[in-house]
Each structure stands twice: as structure tokens, then as C-alpha cells.
Amino acid sequence: MRIAIACAAALLFWSVSGGGASAQGAQACPDPNTLGVTRTVEIDATGGPGFGFEHYKVYDFLRLREVVLTFDDGPQVGFTHAILDALAAQCTKATFFSIGKMAAGMPEIIRDVAKAGHTIGTHTWSHADLSKAKSEDDWKDEIEKGFSAVKRAVGAPIAPFFRYPVLKDTKDTLQYLGGRNIAVFSVDLDTFDYKFRNPDQFVKQAIDRLERKGKGIILMHDVQPVTAKALPRLLAEIKAKGFKVVHLKPKAEVKTLAQYDAVIEKDMKGMAAGHERPMSSVVRTIEEAPPQPTAAAKR
């Protein structure tokens, strides 16, 4: 049974205008009819809050017909850049939960994700199921090496955002992440993109499920061919159905641990020398204009 994470902080919201340009006032989109970003929401990760109603039901920061776009498991050659192109064409933003080994092996790709203005969290070092870890040291290594490797690959601060592989948490790891001030993200809508080969079928089932739910954090993978092919149409359908994108930003960057930074640095230098590569509360809207307070949404 999943552990619901409780946090003491209240949820605060401010409205922000939509349109083709992103809420944080980034470079305006040439086409005002693009999907864009309606709100940019700042996440305070203090205490390790959990988001995504599949597992964590304390915080509901999305309004009706709002979505958060998220991608797991990358980066990957070809697919991640195709996804970045689709997002850029719609002037919209997403959150990428990167695997440490993948980021370390393809730092140039994860840096392109960061340069495009997307938010980067982590998804462990090697996509290990932490609920099956043999010891505390094993699951700590997976969590911390993931953060250290992704941060090193990006070469800049990353978000204190974490998603469990196969969405399986444990009491001990949740407590640990809370103590490390890492926010945990589950999902509201899993697209199961890895089950699809036909892009049209993938888009249809994703939109049908989104219509039924009405809003949510959407899970996709930037290592899946069907997702890379289908994303332009999926984003167009999301806009056509009247949904709006919310972009997540952290209030503070993740603080990696020195001993794990040293381990990753040593590993990366060793791989370079051998010419080898590793295998491939809490919430507020932020904007340029003065905010307009509204009632908090919580359940």
C-alpha cells in the first residue's frame, strides 16, 4: 500500500494569463496559437511532499483542464531531441525525470533539455525498483548517485524532484527523501506508451483517458519511439480539447552529497580514460506580473 505524504505547508495559487508565450516571460512564441504554458508553478520540496493522485492525495494544485507533461527514463539518442522539437514547436514546457546512467552517458542531450528551459529531476541511477533493494545502502546509492550523476551531466543545478521506477515507493525511502527535502512525483495519467507501436492509437487512448480525468500529471517516456513520433499530434490534440499546460519549477535546487559526487566523478573519469560510456505548501504560481491571489485547492 502506498504511503501518503503529509506536509504542513499550505497551498497557495495565483492566476496567470495564458497564450503562446510562457508564464515566466521567456521568449515569446512566434505563433500565438501554440499550446504554450498557462501557469508556472513553483514547488517547495521541503519535507518531501508527494504529488500525483495515483499514490499521493494530499495536494491537488491543478485546476480543471490543466496538465503537467512529464517524461521518464532518458535521455536517449534521437528520441529525446524529437520530443524537444515537438515541445518547442508548441512553445510549451515539461519535466524530465532522468536516469543517472543515461544522463552520464549522454550529457550533451540532457544539457539540451536544460537549455530548452525544461525542468530536470531524477529517476534513480539505474532504474532499479527500490522496493526490491537488498539493503539501505543499495537504495541510498540508487537515489543519491542518480542526483549526483544527472547534476554533473547537466553541469548546472537540477530540481529536487524524484520519481520512483515502476512507481513503487517504500516507507523507508519516502522518509529518507523527506529528510533530504526531495519532492516525490507519481502520476494522474499513465499513457503506457511503451505498450504502443501505432502513434494514432497511442494519441487516441491518451486523449480519451485525459478527457475522462479532466486534468492531471501525464507520464510519458523519452526513450519510446511511439512517443517521439506521436507527440506533435498529441500536443495539438491537448490544445484542441481545451487543456492547458502547467510548468513545474523548484523553489530551490537539489543539494547533492559530496561522497556521491566524488563517486560519480571518479567513475566518469575512469570511463573517459577507457573511452567507455555508462549504459544508456509547497506550490505557488510564479510570473512576471504582480500575482492575483485566489483560494487554495486542497483535498
- Say whether 95 sits in a helix, a strand or coil: strand
Give every CB contact of residue 258 below 8 A, 6+ residues apart in sequence: none
**In the prediction, which pLDDT does 272 show?**
64
- Please give the model's pTM, rounded to 2 decimal places: 0.85
Query: What ranges do the domains of the chain cover?
Result: 35-291
Per CATH, the architecture of 35-291 is what? Alpha-Beta Barrel (3.20)
Give every CB contact of residue 45 below 8 A, 6+ residues apart in sequence: 159, 160, 161, 181, 182, 183, 250, 251, 252, 282
**In the prediction, which pLDDT does 282 show?**
59
**In the prediction, which pLDDT does 293 show?**
38
Whether omega for the bond prior to residue 75 falls within 30 degrees of 0, making it cis, is yes
Q: Can you list the residues of the chain whose pLDDT is less than 70?
A: 1-28, 30, 271-299
**In the prediction, which pLDDT does 283 show?**
55
**In the prediction, which pLDDT does 206 show?**
97
User: What would the grid cell of residue 151 be?
Assistant: 547534476
Q: Which of 64, 40, 1, 12 is nearest to 293 (CA)?
A: 12
**What is the full DSSP assignment across 98-140?**
E-HHHHHH-HHHHHHHHHTT-EEEE--SS---GGG-SSHHHHH
Q: What are the pLDDT digits (tens) for 72-106?
A: 999 999 999 999 999 999 999 999 999 999 999 99
Burial (CB < 10 A; 0-12, 13-18, 19+), residue 42, is middle
Sign of CA dihedral 129, 134, 139, 141: negative
**In the prediction, which pLDDT does 26 show?**
40
**In the prediction, which pLDDT does 3 show?**
38
CA distances for 173 relative to 86, 137, 139, 145, 181, angstroms = 35, 11, 8, 15, 12
